[in-house]
Structures are given as structure tokens and as C-alpha cells.
Structure 1
Amino acid sequence: MIHQYKLNGYNIVLDVFSGSVHVVDDVAYDVIGLYETTPADEIVAKMLEKYAGREDVTEADLRQCLEDIAELEKAGKLFAKDIYGDMAFDFKKRVTEVKAMCLHVAHTCNLNCEYCFASQGNYHGERALMSFEVGKQALDFLVANSGKRRNLEVDFFGGEPLMNWDVVKQLVAYGRSLEEPNNKKFRFTLTTNGVLVDDEVIEFANKEMNNVVMSIDGRKEVHDWLRKNYAGQGSYDTIVPKFQKFAKARGNKEYYVRGTFTHNNVDFTNDIFHLADLGFDQLSMEPVVCAPGDPYALTEEDLPKIMEQYEILAKEMLRRESEGKGFTFYHYMIDLNHGPCIYKRISGCGSGTEYLAVTPWGELFPCHQFVGDPKYSMGNVWDGVTNTALRDEFKLCNAYARPGCKDCWAKLYCSGGCAANAYHATGSITGVYEYGCELFRKRMECAIMMKVAEAGMKK
């Protein structure tokens, strides 16, 4: 399977199953498009007719082009066969080890964001804070169920985790105490809306948190439209100076400024550029996930505008990079030389198997987006995963288990996409959230184009 597209002056041919990327001229681009379905003599005739008058397109040139394509095919770099399909359906038999947890230390929040998938932090249930005892048991569960994995990941999440800051600090200390005796290493992440960030939070996080996710939607008017406090006031002026100080203090440590774009700001590149101009250089901007009838929900009419925005973003990022003012965008981070192993490409994010979310009461769910849905309760941190049938279903939650992914060129980049988005869109974790797929494919086209352009810059 191949995928061909033109973007930013490049003719790009992606060989899906080998991962090879070819940048070709117009003639080779057209010949490759005909190669599998059209006899060689007919291809030559079509090209001579299409490029009549061009002295550099001769029959000899076209025959040589066909030979070059055949050599690439023989080398497994073009029209490579899919050798991974049979592997995917053995996954249900495999023994899974837990490597990551999302600790919901606070099912409450000090903001009242209208689009919040977590229902203003309480996940459609009672407001609560996780006790140290529950969090301690969660870390014990993670260590006990991680097998020989050394590196473990824990995200402090909410709601707003800083509303339970003392417990966060206690759990970090407890996690560190488990490392040496168990030959483990914890990688902690903090996700925050910024309202309670202060010097003590910054100092502790920079010492102990491998990553910090800072939530801000971009321009003041965009951010304040939906991210308000309970008095109805926007939070932009409160959090921006704090996040600027936080990001600067991070030094070389990872952080992300993460925004959400909605129907209200389909021109979200302006929000990304605004954040970059504020000094943030590690950015992410996610499409809103909400009910179709919500006033801020993305529509079919928004789709072409969003596609255009992703192209604008890629081109502007290249321009800024050439001027020494570059920034990273989470969805454009792609490694064309190595990339994820095939296990990761097939298994995806690992929700429900390698990754679990823990409520303040110690209940286990496949990930934070399933929390509160009783159909997706998997057990608890004391008894472990008791709903093993559900875990087995998540083992098969990959691109090869989804009929809608069968002919998609991007399936080995997304691993079948987000199970939660599929469930909310179709009622099944093995369904396909087609709107999200369209956006993902566009992001991958842009990301690959940027790598092509960057490679050209280095020559």
C-alpha cells in the first residue's frame, strides 16, 4: 500500500508497510500512481501524451523510471507487503504488564470549563480527593503488576490535582522509596490548569516531575470564552504569567502547553502562534471532544478549514525554524528513521492493558475518558483487574481489529486511534471515529512533509 500527496511544493510517496518516504518529480509521481494497475507500455504512452512537448520526458526516461520503481519494489521500499496483520490477532493471548497509571487525585476543580469532558472535574459523580492510602496502594499495585519493566509512568490528574497537592507530594516521595528496592524508576507527570501554581509548586515539579502539562487555549478571548472560574471570570490573566514563569524555570525538562480548539476558534493556528509568541516552545492543541449538539462542537463544515489550518501551521513552523524561532507541536513529532517498534504500532496506547486510570476511591478504568462509566469498571487497586474479559477486549483494540482501518494508509501511525473516541462516536471501542481519523491523517501528511523539508534544509 502506498499513499501519495502533494504539499508545500513536494510530491510525496509514502510506502505504508516499510515506512519509506520518497520525494519525486511530477513524472515519477504519476508513474508510481499507475504502476500497480496499468501495463508498462500503457504507462509510457499515457505519460508521453500528458507531457508532450517536454524534451526531458522521453520513452527512455520513462522506461528507466519504471526500472527504478521495480528495484525499489524488490528492495521492499515501495509497494511492500503487509507482514503485520497476523501478529495483531495473537495479542489477545499475550500476558500484559501495567506500565502507566493516571492517578485521579482530585475529582474536583477550581475552574468551570464548559466543554470539560470530566464534567467540571467530578466525572459525573461525587466530588472527592484521593487519600494518601489509596494512592499508596495504587503505586504498590503498579509495581506489583509491572513485571520486569523498570520504567513506570504516573500522571497526577483531575479535575485539578493541585487541589490535593500535599497528597501529590507524599505520593511522589513514596514512589521514590519504591524505586531502589524494586529496581524501578518512576516518571511523574503533572497536568494542571495553573490557577494554584506558585513558587513552591514550580520548585517541586522541576525537581520531581519529568513532564508538566499546562492547560491554556490560546488567545485571551478564546481561552476566557470557555475556561472560566465559578464566578464566571476568565482565567487567562491569572494563569499566563504563572505558566510563563513555570516554563522558563523548566530549563531543559519537558513540558507542554496544551490547548483545546472548538467551533469557536477553527482558526486555532492563531492561538498556537500566540502561545509561541508568549515564549512557550512545546505546544499541543487538541480538537474538542463533546456531544455533536453542543454549540462549540466541531462540524463537518469546519473540516476543510481545520485541514487548511494544519497546513498553515506546518509551513509557519518551518519558517520560524529557519529564523531560529522554532517550536515543537506534539502532533508533528514523528521519527521517520526509527519510530515506534511494530509492537507499539499494533498495540497502540495500551489503555485497559498497560495503562489504567485510578479514581479517588481506587477503582480502575481503562483510561481517564472512561472514568465514571460503570460498564468500563475493571476492578480496584486492592483486588486488581477483576474484569478480565474487558481487559481482553482492550488487548484487541488496534488497527487490525477495526474493519474501518483496513484500507487506511495511516493505521501504523495511529495504531487504530483512541478507543474512547471510538466508543463515544460509535458505541464500540473497536469502532472508528472518522472525523478524528480525517484530522489525524492530515496531521501525519504535514508532519512527514516537515521532515522532508527539514532534510532538504540540512543538505
Structure 2
Amino acid sequence: MDIIFKGIKTPKNSYIYDRGRNAILAVSDSEYEELEQLQKGLVKEEDSKVLKKYQNEGFLCPNTVTKIEHPCSGVLGHYLRNHVEKLTLQVTQRCNLRCEYCIYSGNYDNRKHSNLDMSFETAKKAIDLYLCSSGEMEEYFVSFYGGEPLLNLKLIKQCVEYIKSKTVGKRINFAMTTNATLLNDEAVDYLRNEDFGIMVSLDGSKKEHDRHRKFQNGEGSFDLIQKNLKRIKEKNPDFFSKITYNSVMNPDSDYRSVKTYFETDELLNSAEILTNIVESENPGEKVKLSKDYLKIDKFDQLKLYLLMLKKIDEKDVSKLVLIRARYIIRKYQEIIKKAEIGSKCHHNGPCIPGTRRLFVNVQGKLFPCERVSETSSIMQLGNVEEGFEIEKVRKLLNVGKVTEDLCKNCWALLHCNQCIRNADGKDHLSRKLKMLYCPDTKRQAYFILKEICALRELGCTFERI
């Protein structure tokens, strides 16, 4: 059958997700059953009155997708020449910590710590490339990354002065991700004066943080970070209030302890916290978190739903899950448009490589962002000397090509968030690797659609929180 849809059941009602219109249809139980029979080939299309009914309304029409192609393919050159949004400079590969799950730790086949620093000449070429490629941007965004970037504060200062000398009439936003162990008075005064946005890597309470974020001698880093943050809050409260935090969850994390710390600690109870789950070393494999984590997370998710239904106040919901509401609302807004899919389509996962978060490593090589492997030749987009290799970028942009036959007929196509990292075969885009992530991607897509159905039943208006 050439009609692509997915059945969704809640405890109250039946629904059909129509991929051709990216729409959710509320159907009767009998209609649902007939469409399920149709999908299994037990009912012929010409014999289905239900199918005819919805096709007359413009839904459940034959699949129109004949080609997997990213919609920005035709304007890729324009984006790379004019619309690079953010530059991230890897000012050093040195780090004073040895976090066990860090992508530089040696546990992952993508990069390792080294003593390499970026030269000022390389940094200038990267900045020039960015400034020449961001003419359509109203503001500039430049971020500094490591290793631990504060180990090369001298270069950061040189870069800031160089950027300021080269720009007129546009705001420049500076940012940095740091482990906060080197946030001494000199560094803080400089970062504050230049209005830096700071993200601190902090995994929760002392016990949880020190479990993985250690110095090279094996000592935990929590106490020094706390000391630095307290000093910043005392001396520079305005600067301190703008610091955000990133916490990484591991299978052995005590989520209850992490959650309690971020929600009740006097120093950080009002801070913005982002949480991420550590990535598995095995492609396509999900990290298994503890039953305690799953139980607490489900309860927090329930409270988030109650907030979206305006049954409780935001203060009663864990700030660790609030970001999920924005994702649900964004998906709902996409679905209510009921836009036709067309003949060319591509799943949502890949950004336009190099334009959202252009990452330049210490050697001047260009990558889509800081999360891809620096040891992968397929992920390298070019270099600061010669600029972008546009055909290479185009190949990454259209990563769906490696699974084109599957994507064209996948019900979850418009809700697939697969990143190019999932297909990183080091010197090629790997169909085999990408397919490993398909089952979980479909589970996530089904869950978000079911969430939307259930929330809508209960009267959710999907207003921004």
C-alpha cells in the first residue's frame, strides 16, 4: 500500500497520524480498525469507505515522496557565504581535568586530549572566514571551546580584540563552556567586562560531580568549582546570575541527589540547568539509566503535563524538565499546519552543516559543530585556508540519501531527528550505522505524537511556557 500513516491509541480515543499532511486525525474506533486492516492488506483500498471519506477531505492520499533531498540543497552556497550563525573556536586541546565520559577521554573513538593550542594566525583566519560568511546575520556569536578554554585565555583575549577591530555596527556575543576550575578573579573580571555568556559543566552534588569530573591526580573538582562560584556571586552577582550549567547524567548517577542539589542548593537553586544523558560508546545503543531515575523522571514529566494543563504553577515543576515543554509545543505547532509533504523531502535531523555552529579545531579544520568527531575525514568541511568544500557539505546535508529507500516510506520521516553523527563511518556516510538509530527514533516520534493527542484531549492549549 502506498499510503503512509501510523495508528495512535490513547486510553480515551483513537487517532491516525497522516504523514502526507503531517497531521493527526481523530477517528472513531471502527474507522481506526478499518484503517489498520487496510494497512495490513486485509482490506483493499477501493473497498474502504473510511479511506475514501478522508481522501475526499484531502487526507490519507498516496505517498508523493519520490526523492530524499534536503530543502536547502539548492541554496547551500548562499547559506555558506552569507548565513553562518555562530563560530566556535577550539583554542586548546589541553585540559586540567580527566572526566571519564568526556569525548576527549580516550573512551570514544573521536578525539583525545593533547598539548595542542590554536595559534593566533589560525584564529584570525577562522574569524575572517566567519565574518565574511555571516553578512545576513544581525548579530555575531563567537564561542570558545577546549579542552579547557581558560588554559589559553591569552588567545581568547587576542581573538576578542581582533573581532572587535574588524566589526562595525553589529553586536558581538561572546560565550564559553568551562569546567570553572580556572575562574579566578583575573578571568572573571575579563569575562564580565566583555559580557561573556558562560556555561559551566557541573554534574550535581559533590558526590555525583566528583564521581567522574576529576583532576589528573584523581582528586574531585567539586570543591574548587564551588569556591570559585561563591566568590563570583559575592563579588559579581549580576555576572553570576547569567551563568548557565550543564549536567551530564550517567547510568550510575544518583538522580535524586542531582535533582535535589540543583533545586535546593542555596548557590544554584535559581540557576538555569541543562541536562544531558551521556552517550553510549556503542552506536545505536541507549545508555540504561537506573530505575530510580526513570521513576523520578516520570513523576517530573507528570507535573510538567499538569503545568501545561494549567493545573499547577511553574514553581512546582522541576526546572530539569521544563525544556521538554518547549519541544512538545514546537511539535504541536508543526502538526496543526497540516502542510502537504511534496515530492522532495528530508528528515529533520541535519542542520545545514557549518552554518549553525561552525567549529574550528586547533589545526584550523572546519566541522559542523563541536560534537562531531575530529578524527573523521567525512565530517571535515574544509579548512581556514581554503574555506568550505561545498560538495562535501552538500553530502552531509543530504545524509538521508544513504537510507533513501527506507526514508521515502517511513511514517516517522517528518519527526526523525537523526544527526549526521549517527552515520559517521569515518571516511564515508554509513547506511548500516544510521539504521541502528532508526528504531529509537521511531519510538521517540510515536511518543511525542501520543503526548500531543493526550494533552489535547485534556484541554491543553499548547501556549508557550
- Give the Cα separation in 1 of the matches to 2:56 and 2:197: 44
**Which one-letter code corresponds to 1:154 in the other structure?**
V
The CA deviation at 1:235 is 2.5
If the length of structure 1 is used for normalisation, what is the TM-score? 0.71
Match of 1:391 among 390, 393, 398: 393
**Cα deviation, residue 413, structure 1:** 3.4
Point out the more displaced range, 10-19 or 155-164.
Answer: 10-19
- 2:21 paired residue number: 18
Structure 1 residues 242-251 or 311-320, which shifts more?
242-251
Task: State whether residues 377 and 426 of structure 2, in contact with CA within 8 Å, keep that contact through their aligned partners in structure 1.
Answer: no
Match for residue 358 of structure 1 among 345, 354, 360: 360
- For the 8 Å contact 1:214–1:243, the answer to whether it is kept is no
1:164 matched residue in structure 2:
152
1:290-439 paired onto structure 2 within 5 Å? 290-292=280-282, 311-319=298-306, 322-325=312-315, 326=317, 327=319, 328-330=321-323, 333-334=326-327, 335-336=330-331, 338=333, 346=348, 348-352=350-354, 355-368=357-370, 369-373=372-376, 376-385=379-388, 387-398=389-400, 403=405, 405-415=407-417, 417-423=418-424, 428=429, 431-433=432-434, 436-439=437-440
Per-residue deviation, 1:213: 3.2
Supply the RMSD in Å over aligned alpha carbons: 4.9
- The offset of 1:113, in angstroms, is 0.5
Change (3 A) 1:400 1:298: closer
| Alpha-carbon offset, residue 347 of structure 1 | 7.2
Moved more, 25-34 or 142-151: 25-34
1:260 partnered with 2:248: yes
CA offset digits 1:399-423 (Å, max 9, x no partner)? 77555545544433345x1222331
1:208-230 Cα shifts (integer Å, max 9, x gaps): 66854332234543332211112
Deviations 1:342-399 (A, max 9, x none): 99965722235665321223232343322244565444213323x5553342232247
Distance verdict in 2 for CA 1:364–1:81, change over 3 Å: same
Give the structure 1 partner of residue 73 of structure 2: 91
1:202 & 1:443 partners in 2: Cα distance?
41
Counterpart in the other structure of 1:213: 199
Question: 1:257–1:344: structure 2 CA closer, same or farther, 3 Å change rule?
Answer: farther
- Whether the 8 Å contact between 1:257 and 1:282 is mirrored in structure 2 is yes
The farther-off stretch of 155-164 and 17-26 is 17-26
- Give the direction of change, closer, same or farther, for the CA distance of 1:312–1:414 in structure 2 (3 Å limit): farther
Contact 2:202 2:247 in 1 (8 A): yes
Secondary structure of the residue aligned to 2:21 is coil
Structure 1 match to 2:209 = 223
Structure 1's 90 and 301: CA in aligned 2 closer, same or farther, altered over 3 A? Answer: closer
- CA deviation after TM superposition for structure 1 residue 112, in Å: 0.7
Conserved 8 A contact 1:123-1:371: yes
| Distance change (3 Å), C-alpha of 1:365 and 1:210 | same
Tell whether the 8 Å contact from 2:86 to 2:356 is kept in structure 1 after alignment.
Answer: yes
Partner of 2:143: 155
Letter of the 1:107 partner, please give it.
Q
Structure 1 partner of 2:126: 138
Deviation at 1:193, TM superposition (A): 1.9
- Measured at CA, do residues 172 and 257 of structure 1 come closer, stay the same or move farther in structure 2, by a change above 3 Å? same
2:182 matched to which residue of 1? 196
Residue in 1 that maps onto 2:89: 103
Contact 1:402 1:432 in 2 (8 A): no
Residues 1:288 and 2:290 are matched in the alignment = no
Tell me the distance in 1 between the aligned counterparts of 2:275 and 2:188: 23
Equivalence for 1:129: 117
**Cα pair distance change 1:190/1:90, threshold 3 Å:** closer
Distance in 2, matches of 1:422 and 1:443, equals 19
- The aligned amino acid for 1:128 is L
Q: CA deviation at 1:251?
A: 9.2
On the 8 A contact 1:217/1:261 being kept in 2, the answer is yes
- 2:53 alignment partner AA: A
Q: Which moved more, 1:406-415 or 1:445-454?
A: 445-454
Residues of 2 paired with 1:308 and 1:84: CA distance? Answer: 43
- Deviation track 1:295-349 (CA, whole Å, cap 9, x = no partner) reads xx96687699988776555224335672322335556532135459999965722
Residues 378 and 399 from structure 1, CA distance in 2 versus in 1: closer, same or farther, beyond 3 angstroms?
Answer: closer
> SS of the counterpart of 1:394?
helix
* Pair 1:115-2:116 in alignment: no
* Structure 1: runs of 5 or more not aligned: 45-62
Superposition deviation, residue 448 in structure 1: 5.0
Contact 1:113 1:228 in 2 (8 A): yes
Q: Percent identity?
A: 22
* Structure 2 length-normalised TM: 0.70
User: How many angstroms apart in 2 are the aligned matches of 1:19 and 1:333?
Assistant: 19
Higher helix share: 1
Which residue type is aligned with residue 211 of structure 2?
W
| Higher relative contact order, chain-length normalized (CA < 8 Å, sep 6+) | 2
Structure 2: distance between partners of 1:283 and 1:323: 19
The alpha-carbon distance between structure 1 residues 131 and 323, as it changes in their structure 2 partners (threshold 3 A), is same
Residue 103 of structure 1 deviates from its aligned partner by 1.0
SS in 2 for 1:154: strand
Contact 1:85 1:400 (C-alpha < 8 Å) held by counterparts: no
Contact preservation (8 Å) 1:151, 1:186:
yes
Unaligned runs of 5+ residues in structure 2 are none
